[in-house]
Structure 1
Amino acid sequence: MFLYSCTEQPSSSDTQACAEYLDNSGQEDQFLGGIKMIPISTPKGEFKVWTKRVGNNPTKKVLLLHGGPGMTHEIYECFDGYFPQENIEYYYYDQLGSYYSDQPKDLSLWDLPRFVEEVEQVRIALGLDESNFYLFGQSWGGILASEYALKYQKNLKGLIISNMVMSIKDYNEYSAKVLAPKLPSKVLDTILSYEEKEEFSNETYLGLITEHYYTRHIIRMPTDSWPDPINRGFKHLNPDVYVTMQGPSEFGIKGDATLLNWDIKDRLKEITVPTLTIGAEYDTMDPKHMEWVSTEVQNGRYLHCPNGSHLCQFDDQKNFFTGLVKFVNDVDAGQF
């Protein structure tokens, strides 16, 4: 386990470890600086998805599953500030339909089981296995990571489910009964009036949610202070994927979104791989539910971010990364 920083004054052995971590010579992706376009077979043909490796470590490799659906890898750029000094190899990844990856227009591709098979194809292409493969999923990525584990956990060394409850019904109830009543009454009444008319794409509706809900429960900062990776991520979000699976906003899953009835609470006991669940005090997801998930899986740990919301890698960064790094290092050292 390496606890040094390459910016401090390392010992000679630490310097050697830094050099090995940063050395891309002999890597098949050296020409593109760690980038690999991976062919993905789907029921509608073959497409390519974008990945980028950072670092080298034969026993600690983390594949990052972004949220959305249809968001981008950009929301994890802050991992650059924490993983390298811990000697953790990690992979940025735009899922099919997202940013640098192919963006086919066939809506039938935005299907949870197909995404699970996509992750498995990415794993194989990157050479990840049970000796080194940690799967991190946040929000929609947490849905995808948990479904992947239910089918392919034999390939995993560790699983991280961040900011995602295991039932959309529970998610919607928490939003409606706990979080929504905390909004100013006039704002809530206006939002609910648009929802009653199913005017989910109305600019006023979306503007009110962004101003009054997102700044409390998605990322606890005024919109004009949002980190650049978040702004770019929203700018590059693919609405076809997002609306098809999630609906028009983070204010619960609405309409005919394909994830509306998703629920795996009764299957969590099937997950045996070391699992970290991450919850945040001000999240759109109930942190008590996230803690409960850690007790339902067979080998779990819970990380609470007391200052954070849905994107706690930014608004509670110290607690988030301290706990996440400790989990990866503990599993790697056999001390979990």
Structure 2
Amino acid sequence: MKLKLLLCFTLIMITLSNCKNKEEVSSLDYFNYSNPEDQYSGGIRMIPIKTPAGKFKVWTKRIGNNPKIKVLLLHGGPGITHELYECFDGYLPKEGIEYIYYDQLGSYYSDQPNDNRLWTNERFVDEVEQVRKALDLNKDNFYLLGQSWGGILAMEYAFKYQDNLKGLIISNMMSSAPLYNKYAEEVLGPKLPKEVFEQIKTFEKNKDYQNPKYQELLFKYYYTEHILRKPLNEWPEAVNRCFKHLNPNVYIFMQGPSEFGITGNATLKDWDVREKLKTISVPTLVIGSKNDTMDPKHMEWMSKEVQNGRFLYCPNGSHLSQYDDQKIYIPGVIKFLNDVNKNKF
């Protein structure tokens, strides 16, 4: 009897040891940068891309290894940087999720050619496809997460190349620039103190966007309500660094100088893909926030327009809800990735 108990105990210990070893191997695999190029650079790759204006390089950095879940991050702006996603470092590695930081052409860590011919949706989509190929991402592991302008780029990529995708995440972006403008003008603006909104509109009417008072009003009354809902002195260092690195040439050319919609001669002013959403069949998560610069009801509608969608609502979040509503945003993203990976979506 004692011998049987001893044998059972031994088998249990061996099983537990094997499980532990598997977990340790998994962890070691995730943080494996033994490829000479990766190890030398810490996962950073400058990827060469071809454009109508010549050859350039864009910056990427891989965090972790997971053959089934690889998330390419498309930052906003246009012309901002990957730095807006740095809070992911505190969550995704422990989940074993591989993600790839990426600065689009024109952004701080990539080449920054001074050629406005390059700042088009079509050219950026082609760039993402070149990056995908260089990183060897495919329909069995490739997830695309785009926030704000990155959400526009993610949608446009899916319209053309969704057969390459395993999953799509559209974060804090509507599918229509005219509707975004309408929401900013008719809903968000009037929520400001009347005298503040009138001052802001006067500055914009006079195209006095660089006036320190205009910037002060935006940061004090608008950004802390609808961009990141924290006092400015509590904004994360990564966010401040990101805005410091903004390329205004790309941003103004495509988005325009105003924060109340896409105006002037900005190339995205008439962008509208509402009718094309129904063509997206890949599993799609759409994220909207109560206090966003974008209409959360419209984003919920988007999640129903795509063929295989889910909506994630962040009740305490704004445009950067990965920071001001992390308890909803990040677990929701993780659940989506795992559900799609396990065919539970």
Q: TM-score interval w.r.t. the shorter chain?
A: over 0.9
- Residues 8-157 of structure 1 aligned to structure 2 (within 5 Å): 11-26=20-35, 28-157=37-166
Distance in 2 between the 1:220 and 1:249 partners? 20
- Asked if the contact 1:246–1:254 (Cα under 8 Å) also holds between the matched residues in 2, the reply is yes
| Counterpart for residue 287 of structure 2 | 278
Q: Which amino acid aligns with 2:81?
A: T
| Counterpart for residue 205 of structure 2 | 196
Deviation at 1:28, TM superposition (A): 4.3
Distance in 1 between the 2:22 and 2:327 partners? 27
Higher CA-based Rg: 2
Distance in 1 between the 2:27 and 2:21 partners? 10
- Residues 284-323 of structure 1 aligned to structure 2 (within 5 Å): 284-323=293-332
- Asked if the contact 2:204–2:258 (Cα under 8 Å) also holds between the matched residues in 1, the reply is no
Distance in 2 between the 1:107 and 1:203 partners? 27
Distance in 2 between the 1:163 and 1:150 partners? 18
Of 245, 249, 267, which aligns to 1:258? 267
| Counterpart for residue 339 of structure 2 | 330
Distance in 2 between the 1:215 and 1:26 partners? 43
Deviation at 1:207, TM superposition (A): 2.1
Instruction: Classify the secondary structure of the residue corresponding to 1:52.
Output: strand
RMSD across aligned C-alpha pairs, in angstroms? 1.1
- Asked if the contact 1:209–1:251 (Cα under 8 Å) also holds between the matched residues in 2, the reply is no
Deviation at 1:204, TM superposition (A): 2.0
What TM-score do you get using the length of structure 2 for normalisation? Answer: 0.93
Instruction: Write the deviation string for residues 249-277 of structure 1: whole angstroms up to 9, x where unpaired.
Output: 43211211110000000000000000000
Distance in 2 between the 1:95 and 1:273 partners? 24
Distance in 2 between the 1:160 and 1:235 partners? 26
Q: Which amino acid aligns with 1:323?
A: G
Deviation at 1:284, TM superposition (A): 0.3
Of 227, 232, 240, which aligns to 1:223? 232
- Asked if the contact 1:143–1:164 (Cα under 8 Å) also holds between the matched residues in 2, the reply is yes
Corresponding pairs, count: 327
Deviation at 1:200, TM superposition (A): 3.0
- Asked if the contact 1:206–1:249 (Cα under 8 Å) also holds between the matched residues in 2, the reply is no
Larger helix percent: 2
Distance in 1 between the 2:339 and 2:47 partners? 31
Distance in 2 between the 1:152 and 1:63 partners? 14
- Asked if the contact 1:131–1:157 (Cα under 8 Å) also holds between the matched residues in 2, the reply is yes
Distance in 1 between the 2:25 and 2:285 partners? 31
- Asked if the contact 1:198–1:255 (Cα under 8 Å) also holds between the matched residues in 2, the reply is no
Distance in 1 between the 2:267 and 2:214 partners? 22
Q: Which amino acid aligns with 2:49?
A: I
- Asked if the contact 2:81–2:246 (Cα under 8 Å) also holds between the matched residues in 1, the reply is yes
Gaps of 5+ in 2: 1-18
Q: Which amino acid aligns with 1:96?
A: L
| Counterpart for residue 13 of structure 2 | none
Change (3 A) 1:190 1:78: same
Instruction: Classify the secondary structure of the residue corresponding to 1:130.
Output: coil
1:167 has 2:176 as partner: yes
- Asked if the contact 2:145–2:168 (Cα under 8 Å) also holds between the matched residues in 1, the reply is yes
Which contiguous aligned blocks of 4+ residues in structure 1 show a shift greater than 3 angstroms? none
- Asked if the contact 1:281–1:309 (Cα under 8 Å) also holds between the matched residues in 2, the reply is yes
Of 212, 221, 239, which aligns to 2:248? 239
| Counterpart for residue 269 of structure 1 | 278
Distance in 1 between the 2:209 and 2:182 partners? 18
Distance in 1 between the 2:328 and 2:158 partners? 25
Distance in 2 between the 1:218 and 1:34 partners? 30
Gaps of 5+ in 1: 1-9
Q: Which amino acid aligns with 2:266?
A: A
Change (3 A) 1:155 1:43: same
Instruction: Classify the secondary structure of the residue corresponding to 1:244.
Output: helix
